[in-house]
Amino acid sequence: MFIVVNAQQKGLDLFISSGIAKSPLLKDLKNQKRSGVIDSLRIDASYKPQVTASSVNTYAPTYKDWGYESAITNGGHFSQLISVTKRLVRKDNLHAQYKAIDLQNQTLEVTGKISEQDIRKSITSQYITAYGDQQQYLFNQEMLQLLFKEESILKTLTGNNVYRQTDYLSFLVTLKQQELTISQLRIQLQNDIATLNYLSGINDTSFIVLENPSLELTIQPEIDNTVFTKQFKLDSLKLRNSDAIIDYSYKPTIDLYADAGHVSTFAMDAYKNFGTSFGVTIAMPIYDGRQKKMQHDKNAIAQQTIGEYQQYFKSQYTQQIQQLVQQLQLTDQLIAQAKDQLRYSEGLIEANRKLLVSGDARMADFILAISNYLTTKNMITQTTINRLQIINQINYWNTK
């Protein structure tokens, strides 16, 4: 008891905060969202005038009518140009490209929320498990102290020939078994706390005391308002936006260009060959083997698949929530019944203790009463932990 009471106390929020803060997956998702901002800026920059400097210099020598045909090569080609190009784009086309990145960022945000909820659930589950070990450890340790007090009384009565030596030894076996149980519970508690620290990214091997998690059911939102169904909506919006981008890719494209510089063959008056040029390029798709329809058909199939997954998820979600709520109700009933049983076990132990002092207790009955009390108390603890685990599972699905 001294070790436990004086150990450092830590609560559930501390472990969850640490696990979320140190998760590399959540950091990766945040960095991907930051990259999405850069992608938006790149789209904007790609439709601004593009300026390029180029230099092309070739020389085709001839000797005694040997060499490239001068009518083709002009003996050489020398150019130093600065070119400017700009593609004209419709605002709705540009909006569709920005929309694709925005939808991707929203998907990353939803993925981040689900991942954070996964972390919260796993850490909470492990915390509840470790807290249950701690409660059993503390109770059994308290029970051991009571057995030590009874042992001293029984030892004196046995020395006065009130009880037989075999009765004393039977009780002593029960006491030693309790000591062994406590040692096992301590090892299990330390292992579960180590696992909790591991999940939370905490490097700590000290013995700690866990505070009561105090979990309560959160208000359950409509299924369509949860973060889990939002993923399906975003996938549908992505397909619609993809259809729009496909349509825009089959619209005519217009590119403006202009350049200025020096282009010459140096055949004559090279100093006069400074100049400029400008123009427009128009491209219009006419026929590509109906690939446009194929892409739309592919998106339609994907949309149908999303709808089927969404319908299946809603069915599974409703069924799982109903099962968990039913388990919670049955667990509450079991705890109430066990507490009634515990009161009877406590009364039986107290009656046997009084008989023990007067020498009228049967040792087998006393040991059986202690065993029943321990069994009932441990069952209440385990059932209470199961109740918290059920609440943790229900709350997992309530994220908006």
Residue with tokens 């515990």: 342
- The whole domain housing 375 covers 2-47+90-250+291-396
CATH number assigned to the domain comprising residue 256: 2.20.200
369 and 278, same structural domain?
Answer: no
- pLDDT (tens digit per residue) in 308-346: 999 999 999 889 989 999 999 999 999 999 988 888 887
Residue 124 banded pLDDT, cuts 50, 70, 90: very high
Average pLDDT over all residues of the chain: 87
pLDDT given at position 226: 86
Of 138, 64, 93, 379, nearest to 252 by C-alpha is 93
Domain endpoint, select from 284, 305, 337: 284
Cα-to-chain-centroid distance, residue 173: 48
94 and 83, same structural domain?
Answer: no
CA distance 339 to 166: 33
339 and 270, same structural domain?
Answer: no
Count Cβ neighbours within 10 Å for each residue of 244-261 and write b for 16 or more, e otherwise: bebebeeeebeeebebeb
Cα angle 248, 254, 260; round to 5: 150
- The answer to whether the Cα torsion of 167, 169, 172, 177 is positive or negative is negative
- pLDDT (tens digit per residue) in 272-296: 888 899 999 998 888 888 888 999 9
Total domain count, the chain: 2
For residues 351 and 147, the answer to whether their CB atoms sit within 8 Å is no
DSSP state, residue 206: S
310 and 259, same structural domain?
Answer: no
pLDDT greater than 50 at residue 201 = yes
Report DSSP letters for 123-168, one per residue.
HHHHHHHHHHHHHHHHHHHHHHHHHHHHHHHHHHHHHTTSS-HHHH
324 and 348, same structural domain?
Answer: yes
Residue 2 banded pLDDT, cuts 50, 70, 90: very low
- pLDDT (tens digit per residue) in 89-116: 888 888 898 999 999 999 999 999 999 9
**Mean pLDDT, range 52-56, rounded to an integer:** 92
Q: What percent of the chain has pLDDT over 70?
A: 98
Structure tokens at 300: 């339609």
344 and 205, same structural domain?
Answer: yes
221 and 100, same structural domain?
Answer: yes
130 and 62, same structural domain?
Answer: no
242 and 100, same structural domain?
Answer: yes
3 state DSSP class of 228: helix
- pLDDT (tens digit per residue) in 338-355: 988 888 887 887 887 777
**Mean pLDDT, range 124-145, rounded to an integer:** 91
CA distance 23 to 284: 49
The span from the first CA to the last CA of the chain, in angstroms, equals 43
CATH number assigned to the domain comprising residue 130: 1.20.1600.10
38 and 118, same structural domain?
Answer: yes
pLDDT given at position 1: 42
Q: What percent of the chain has pLDDT over 90?
A: 42
135 and 39, same structural domain?
Answer: yes
Q: Is the pTM of this model over 0.85?
A: no
196 and 78, same structural domain?
Answer: no
Domain endpoint, select from 261, 284, 307: 284
Structure tokens at 109: 């945000």
3 state DSSP class of 263: strand
- pLDDT (tens digit per residue) in 153-186: 778 877 777 778 887 788 888 889 889 999 999 9
pLDDT greater than 70 at residue 394 = yes
Q: Which of 43-47, 53-57, 113-117, 393-397 has the lowest mean pLDDT?
A: 43-47
